[in-house]
Every structure is written in C-alpha cells, then in structure tokens.
Amino acid sequence: MFPPPADLIPHRPPFLFVDAIVSENDDTLVARRLWRADEPFYQGHYPGAPITPGVLLCEALFQTGALYMTRKMPQIAGALPILARIENVRFRAPVFPGETTFIEARKKETVGAFVLMSGSIRNAKNERVLSADFAVTIRPKS
C-alpha cells in the first residue's frame, strides 16, 4: 500500500491532480487520477461538451514526477519540487469528465540539482493521451 499523494507533495485540492500511486520501481512511478465530472473547471472549459484542460493533464504528470522524487530521494523530505523545464509535449487524445487516467513519470538522469524526466498519460483503454519531457529541481521551504 502506498501513502496518499497529499502526504508526499505540497499540493492540495483543488490543485492536487493525482489520486493514488499505483506502482513504482527504481526509475518509474505510476499514479492514477479520476477526472470527476463535478470539478469546477469543466463548467467553463467547453461548456456543454467539456474536456479536461491540457494544462491540468500536464500538471498531473508533473505532480507524478514530484511524487517519484519524494519516494526515491528521501533526503528532500520537506522541500518543494519546482518545475524547471517542459519540452516535447504532445497531446494525442482528449480526456473527458468521468475518465480515469494512468500517469507515468520516468527518471532519465540527474544533472546537478535537476532531475530530468519523461512521462506519459494513458486512459483506461491504454491509449496514450499525452507525452512530455520535463525537469524538476528541489527548493528548500523558507
């Protein structure tokens, strides 16, 4: 059993976009998110035909990367994971209210204070929704 995401990263509702950790290994962490139909952003993002905003899908991926870092780098406990770079974002399919997605963040390498990562989001049919490369660094809380 994995700890709840809110125990590991500083994000809180309504800006916590990871519901649970599903699996992990040395280089990868997979999380899950149910995009609930009652979330307020759906009211204004294509009213009558809502889809999940791409920027929130990206945020779910970045939060999964932060979860990976806190699970694999215990020395950073209490620090703030900060997004440092985003590259090669590709949106492949929309995510609709009520869908569950699986979010995978993979560590590529560490360069100085930066952890370079790649990741993807898949829907319940295992179709790729999004892919991206990104970098995260850690900043002490102060």
Whole-angstrom Cα distance, residue 66 to residue 62?
6
- In this structure, which amino acid lies at residue 97? P
Cα 54 to chain centroid, rounded = 12
Cα 142 to chain centroid, rounded = 24
Nearest to 38 by CA among 97, 95, 96, 94: 97
Catalytic residue among 45, 97, 116, 123: 45
CA dist 35 → 38, 61, 95 (Å): 9, 14, 8
Whole-angstrom Cα distance, residue 81 to residue 29?
16
Query: What ranges in the chain are assigned the alpha helix state H?
Result: 54-72
45 is known as an active-site residue: yes
Residues taking part in catalysis: 45
